[in-house]
Amino acid sequence: MSSRSDQLQAKDRRYLWHPYTQMHDYGGRELLLVERAAGTRLYDYQGRAYYDTISSWWCIVHGHNHPTIKARIQAQLERLDQVLLAGVSHEPAILLAEQLVNLTPAPLSKVFFSDNGSTACEVAVKMSLQYWRQSGRPDRQGLLALERGYHGDTIGTMSLGGVPEFHQAFRHLMFDSFRAPAPDCYRCPAGKRPPAEDAAGGGSAGCDYQCLAPLAALLAEHGEQIAAFILEPRILATGGMIVYPAEWLRRAVVLARQYGVHVIFDEVASGFGRTGAMFALESAGVVPDFLCLSKGLTGGCLPLAATLTSDEVYAAFYADYRENKTFFHGHTFSGNPLAAAAALGSLQVFGEEKTFDTLPQKVQHLRARMERFRELPWVGDLRGLGMIAALELVKNRQTKEPFAWAERVGWPIYLAGLRQGLLLRPLGNVIYLWLPLSVTLAEIDEISERMWRVLSDPANIVGFGNG
Ligand SMILES: Cc1ncc(COP(=O)(O)O)c(C=O)c1O
């Protein structure tokens, strides 16, 4: 008689197709089958524990199965499971919208719910385009994004993405948009030292933000035709955990504003504390016209997304029906009551557990623990922001030569991580931790120690002992 785990593995292979997964990798190999989770850990059917070092795709905030969030979902389930949000409303959506507006800076004052990060961004883009059409500027229909940016996998957000590895097959379907180079302090095109990293974002003598020149030139030429500039504030996550200075962000926003271009901050990944502040925008003291949220919005346990915007944008859509200014966009589960209840629970936990009181110490601790990785000859760069720490592996530290995509440097590291009880998910050559805010100092010690065992062993590194 095979075990439950064996039966499920067999059925998985037979029926399931996993996202962002080359299924061939699992032809002869078991995948991690998670039976339950608690706090920072996942447990398989054999009872083995794995640290969820990537917060289950960057969404878990207060740990898995948080009792407060669970209780809010359970209570909501007794009253209302689902109802459409078109022309109908419900208490969790209303209260959550109020709290989100209170949490974010003015002029963000209206909340439009959807159900995932891609749609949160797509909503912002569509709202901006329609705003200009209805505000006497139908010529403003261009969109601007960053190379190495990532906003989702719908055709619209792929069109604004800057990670061609993922979306090449669909190039013919994507619409054209403007692209500016991303900041990249590790491979600074001007060969400058990165700016000193301080909360206020001040630069050092080494950097004069020359890398903003292409953006400035692009805006000077096309700014008047551009509706919106979408970017991930402070960290291009999927693009390689590229952390960049607050001052770069501040200057980029000022440039866009000079030409009246809407600014869309995609905080789908960075929102809800991950960067050390509730929202990454806080570090730069700038406010977008649209703010996209998802992932951590519910504490990470149910799908929900929100796009926040201003009264000014809202007003451009507010008219007699016959003027045809309605925003015709919606999803079946937009603002689902259970998900909204979970989000209210997550915000309650932020308050009750005073998450931001203990976070700075955890951030410092994580940073200190990561320092030793710099000594490994295959570590080119160590970067971090809040509860995110990333190591870029290179073939040659002096030349910064990257590993080729086909060398798949992350794969043996992923497998070695599992053997150490760590769920890592390398992003190309970047090995990172994206920890829940609830992680303890002792857990940071344990996770970084296990990660050290994985990464300090040349047998796990392509070209240095492996492959
Ligand atoms: C910054 C950013 N925007 C948008 C998305 C897309 O979110 P989703 O996967 O929920 O569609 C992601 C997902 O990783 C993201 O990191």
Pocket test for ligand 1, best of 113, 272, 294, 331 (most atoms within 8 A of CB): 294
Write down the pLDDT at residue 354. Answer: 98
Instruction: State CA 436 to chain mean position distance.
Output: 13
Residue 192's pLDDT is: 86
Q: How many Å lie between the centroid of ligand 1 and the Cα of residue 325?
A: 28
414 has catalytic annotation: no
* Ligand 1 atom with minimal separation from the 232 CA: 1
pLDDT at 62 over 80: yes
Q: What is the pLDDT of residue 199?
A: 38
Domain boundary assignment for the chain: 32-62+356-460, 70-352
- CB-based burial, 171-192: b 16+ in 10 Å, e otherwise: eeeeeebbbbbbbbbeeeeeeb
Pocket probe mutation, ligand 1, options 154, 265, 268, 333, max atoms within 8 Å of Cβ: 268
Where is pLDDT greater, at 164 or 466? 164
Confidence of residue 1 (pLDDT cuts 50, 70, 90): low
- Looking at 51, 131, 150, 414, which residue is catalytic? 150
Q: What span, in angstroms and rounded, lies between the C-alpha atoms of 186 and 240? A: 11
pLDDT in tens, 168-206: 899 999 999 999 999 999 999 988 877 665 433 444 457
| CA nearest ligand 1 atom 8, residue | 117
pLDDT at 303 over 80: yes
**Residue 467: per-residue pLDDT:** 64
The whole-model pTM stands at 0.97
Q: What is the pLDDT of residues 140-159, one digit of tens each?
A: 999 999 999 999 999 999 99
Q: Which of the residues 20, 176, 321, 357 is marked catalytic?
A: 20
User: If residue 391 lies in a helix (H) or strand (E), which one and from where to where?
Assistant: strand 388-396
Torsion of CA 357, 63, 117, 72, to 10 degrees: -90
Residue 248 has pLDDT above 90, yes or no: yes
What is the reported pLDDT for 329? 97
Known catalytic membership, residue 20:
yes
CA–centroid distance, 235 to ligand 1, in Å, is 13
Residues having CB closer than 6 A to ligand 1 are 116-118, 121, 150-152, 232, 237-238, 266, 268-269, 294
Task: Write down the CATH superfamily of domain 32-62+356-460.
Answer: Aspartate Aminotransferase, domain 1 (3.90.1150.10)
User: From CA 89, how far away is CA 95, in angstroms rounded?
Assistant: 11
435 within 8 A of 56, measured Cβ to Cβ: no
Cα 46 to ligand 1 centre (Å)? 32
Can you tell me which atom of ligand 1 is nearest the CA of 154?
Answer: 11
**CA 55 / ligand 1 centre spacing (Å):** 14
Looking at the DSSP bridge assignments, the partners of residue 367 are none
Count Cβ atoms within 10 A of the Cβ of residue 370 and give its class: 0-12 exposed, 13-18 middle, 19 or more buried: buried
Instruction: Determine whether 150 is an active site residue.
Output: yes
| CA 270 to ligand 1 center in whole angstroms | 10
- Which ligand 1 atom sits closest to the C-alpha of 305? 10
CA 58 to ligand 1: nearest atom: 14
Taking the C-alpha atoms of residue 431 and residue 388, their distance in angstroms, rounded to an integer, is 11
Least confident of 25-34, 141-150, 256-265: 25-34
CATH of 70-352, picked from 3.40.50.850, 3.40.640.10, 3.30.56.10, 1.10.1040.10, is: 3.40.640.10
